[in-house]
Amino acid sequence: MYAQQLSPARSLWKAAMAGTVAAMLLASPLLVPKPAFAANGTPNYEVKLNLDPSLVLDSSHNLVSAVRSEFSTGTSTKKYKVQYMDTATQSLQGQDWSDRIRKRDDQSTHEIQFKKRYDVQNGDINAALTQAAGEGLDSASGFDFQVDWGYSKQTLSIAYEKDITISGSSGSGLNMPSEATSRTVSNSNAPTKFKNWTSTGWGTTQLNSSVIYGPVSFNRYEGTFDDLDLDVEVWTVINTAGTGNEYWVEASFKTDSFSEASSERTALINLLRSKGWLVEQDVLRTSQIIERYAPTPDTVAPSVPANVTATASSSTQVNLSWTAATDNVGVVGYEIYRDGTLAGTSTTNSFGNTGLTASTSYSYTVKAKDAAGNVSAASSAVNVTTLAAGTGGTLFYNVDGNTGAYLEAETYTSKNGTFALAACAACSNSQNMETANGSGNASTNLIAYNLQVTNGGSFYIHLLGNGPDGSSDSFYVAIDSGTDTQVTTTSNNTWAWKKTSGTISIPAGAHTLYIKVREDGAKVDKVYLSKSSTLPTGLGAAALAPSYQ
């Protein structure tokens, strides 16, 4: 900061204003913060006043020389781009929160900011601070406190900010992240207070379905006013009609002192008014950007879920799977209907319906839903009958070692962790078991099959599987608590039979076969237990029907 030389006329004017301001302060005790409770945050102050763009900008939308001279800004600017994240129904705005991602062209990182706003009523800043502290935003919350002081309005802004590196958008320039990336970085960097604002996980839920408002560009001139650093920003925004651009020009300065903010605000108002540059109203910038850059409402429903399959796993349960639906924005879940009545919902492409009646026929359909609430038409109905009473309980397979045995991967005794049922048109029974890529390489993620073996001996364990790439193409198999043995599938998304490199001993009697995750992303359709090393072809022979005990 440096002192600006004042003209004699302006020096006299400032002296007169000092007396005026002193009188105003004495007459307006509510403007001066009272001693705060210990838990209340301590704010700084940013004065923000708007200038008439028709008078302070030239034909290229740069500051005219008179303004640059008055505030010693020079002609160079720092360039920024910002975008906000909110739901299509603006639920963050509804709670006076904002999520902003900002980039400056000469910096490699982005700044992410979560901000909560409180209106300051009748100048009572402490009342706003106390309200915030009562909602958990106090001096120990890790947030920064600021009073935004405009022409006629004061707002308490409580912000959490951090610099982040966003892959694919970092480096110099004004690259902004995509909507999907913005959701991810917002969720991963959101403070706990925001995430759990109205209820546990509220913020996360909002960000999962958030959309971009923006981006918006502005240029910042840096200058001085009365020994204070002063910025003049020129924003390029879509006009209210949406037919072109308009320009907002804002002059602002910050100080930690309330009295300095008050006196210098008055001085700046009078200077701008004397020049004819002042716009005597506030621009609610974030709210107007959210309003003007609201995305076109999504009215397109997702595609209809296809390849729905239903399998009775017991006398009281049916397992369903289907091919994932598509949407112009994104599918967020599915509704599963049993005999025309909603039976439940799922965020994956599988669902287990329990509590059913034995030996009873049911009809199922599935609908897809997107973030905007659009729902697809119902899938084709599939009919399934639950098993007879007495056939429920724990399933097992009677395996004869002399003939070998095929098992459907999805008809397991038990599972643990991330294995999930998935629809697969090319698979036996149109289903397979898989773990999502990125869900974790942990052998505690497993599916288990109880076996009752006759004519035991040394077996090869064959798997009909596939993997999307070379780091997602293998399982471990094991019998009981025995050693994990690797089975490597294909790595190009094609189904093929693969087996253990050697045999595994399975004596006659009761045993448990485990298929465990070695590399997440791998898929398994069918299992073949055989004393022969010859690989099956196609889908192999029919799978054993399980028994129950």
At which of 366, 385, 404 does a domain end? 385
- Is residue 547 in a domain? no
At which of 292, 322, 350 does a domain end? 292
Query: Are 18 and 83 found together in one domain?
Result: yes
Given a contact cutoff of 8 angstroms between Cβ atoms, the answer to whether 331 and 324 are in contact is: yes
Query: Are 178 and 281 found together in one domain?
Result: yes
Query: Are 175 and 226 found together in one domain?
Result: yes
Query: Are 471 and 430 found together in one domain?
Result: yes
Count of alpha carbons within 13 Å of 36, Cβ hemisphere only? 20
The enclosing domain of 317 has a CATH number of 2.60.40.10
Query: Are 377 and 517 found together in one domain?
Result: no
Query: Are 228 and 313 found together in one domain?
Result: no
- Is residue 543 in a domain? no
Query: Are 321 and 223 found together in one domain?
Result: no
Query: Are 497 and 453 found together in one domain?
Result: yes
The CA distance from 257 to 273, in Å, is 24
Query: Are 23 and 134 found together in one domain?
Result: yes
- Is residue 297 in a domain? no
Query: Are 216 and 79 found together in one domain?
Result: yes
Phi, psi torsion values for 394, nearest 5 degrees? -80, 125
**pLDDT for res 392:** 54
- Is residue 544 in a domain? no
**pLDDT for res 298:** 81
Domain extent, residue 344, equals 306-385
Angle (nearest 5°) at CA 314 between 407 and 361: 115
Query: Are 249 and 367 found together in one domain?
Result: no
- Is residue 90 in a domain? yes
Q: For the chain of 549 residues, list the mean pLDDT of each consecutive stretch of 10.
A: 39 41 39 54 97 97 98 97 94 97 96 98 96 94 96 97 92 91 95 96 93 96 97 96 95 98 98 97 91 86 92 83 88 94 90 89 96 92 85 77 94 84 86 82 84 94 94 93 94 95 94 93 95 95 82
pLDDT digit string (tens) for 403-419?
Answer: 999 999 988 888 888 88
Q: What does the longest C-alpha to C-alpha distance in the chain come to? A: 110
Number of domains in the chain: 3
Query: Are 321 and 453 found together in one domain?
Result: no
262: CB partners within 8 A, 6+ apart? 21, 24, 25, 31
The enclosing domain of 489 has a CATH number of 2.60.120.260
- Is residue 95 in a domain? yes
The enclosing domain of 128 has a CATH number of 2.40.320.10
